[in-house]
Amino acid sequence: MTRSSWIRKMFEEGIRMKADGKGPVWDFSLGSPILEPPAKVVDRLKHLAGGSVPGIHRYMPNPGYDSTRKAVADFISSETGIKIPSGNVIMTVGAAGGLNSVFKAILDPGDEVIILEPFFGEYPFYIDNHGGVAVPVRSKEDFQIDLEAVEALINSRTRAVLVNSPNNPSGVIYSRQSLENLAVLLRSKGRESGSEIYIISDEAYRKIIYRKPDCPGSLAVYENTIMVTSHSKDLGLAGERIGWVAVNPSTPDAGRLIDAIVFSLRALGYVNAPSIFQKTIEECLDVSVDIGWYKKRRDLLCEALADFGYEFIKPDGAFYLFPKAPGGDDLEFCRVMASRRVLVVPGRGFGMPGYFRIAYCVGDGIIEGALPEFKAAI
């Protein structure tokens, strides 16, 4: 608990501040997708909720409805060019539930998972839950993968590299070159150790992108890829906990791996992904919230902060900006900002002290209201 989430700490600090009656709070702490689900999602959900679909709220097989798994498999096959059978898709309780099920499936005590800095601060907990050890590795200045640094950390206990693209908190999309080089390295190291080193590809932000990526993701470039995602962001369903896992059929012993993930999701007490949302997303894989809405915020924030003198890599996806903390001390900078009633999260929460995260998935006027404070603080 003492290592617990900086994000949640700031979010809860925000709830306290908002109640103190001392004026507005400019809250950039939580990556809470603020947009309502697309109309198609609402219509579909309303239809399913109306009592006209018998059995919609019952248990189904642990990995999910066959029809949902098939819809997801077809969707991801067409997106990646890799033919995914529906049996390789497992519906999960969000991406967080999917990651935990995958880690339980593949980790023995002491096994290592490499995570790329900066990383989502919950990853080390997800790995630790199942006896694994999170091994953070630095990235290049532009937040792309530092292959030599990764290579230096691989050993016989390395079971996976966790790749989050678009990245929370940096907003970076890993390039085809980065992913292909990583694939070559992991193939070679896997052969040496005699077992697969997986890429676990957390793509929770896959549709929140501001340019077309040069590659459809790890699934398309590396056979030992387990893709994990959710509809929290692209369909605005964060509180509903609906996501899925897709296993590349070319990974050796894929059937046994899938069985282990399904067993894990049951044994961990997820049991199944929420039923009505499986059936909802089944027909809504082709829609998303308005990405332009997020892009406007990115552009507004980036332009102003660059103008004030903040240093950062302009994000290509997700809804975060991860600048260097002026003065170098991220905790001190976040304290200064909080005293100005602006909530941002220290970079050490993502394995990178000296930076801070701005979650710009915020309502109209919040960025504009906070800009004078950012200007004054630097």
Where along the sequence are the contacts to its own copies (CB under 8 A)?
1, 4-5, 8, 11-12, 15, 30, 32-34, 36-37, 39, 42, 45-46, 48-51, 54-62, 93-94, 96-100, 104, 122, 125-126, 129, 236-241, 259-260, 263, 266-272, 274-277
Q: For its own copies, which is the closer residue by CB, 45 or 305? A: 45
Closer CB to its own copies, residue 274 or residue 353? Answer: 274
Q: Peptide bond preceding 33: is omega within 30 degrees of 0, i.e. cis?
A: no
DSSP track, 187-230: HHHHHHHTS--EEEEE-TTTT-BSS--SS--HHHH-TTEEEEEE
SS3 280: helix
Q: How far is the CB of 129 from its own copies (least distance, A)?
A: 6
Nearer CB in complex with its own copies: 105/116:
105
Q: Which helix (H) or strand (E) holds 185?
A: helix 176-193
CB of 363 to its own copies, least distance (A): 11
Instruction: For 105-173, give the secondary structure using H, E and C.
Output: HHCCCCCEEEEECCCCCCHHHHHHCCCCEEEEECCCCCCCCCHHHHHHHCCCCEEEEEEECCCCCCCCC
Shortest distance, position 58 Cβ to its own copies, whole Å:
5
Query: What is the three-class DSSP state of 308?
Result: helix
Pick 136 or 213: Cβ nearer its own copies: 136
CA distance 77 to 131: 33
Cα 282 from chain centroid (whole Å): 21
Least Å from the CB of residue 147 to its own copies:
29
For its own copies, the closer CB: 104 or 298: 104
Closer residue to its own copies, CB minimum distance, 8 or 157: 8
Taking the complex as a whole, how short is the minimal distance between the CB of residue 34 and its own copies, in angstroms?
7
User: Shortest Cβ distance from residue 264 to its own copies (Å)?
Assistant: 9
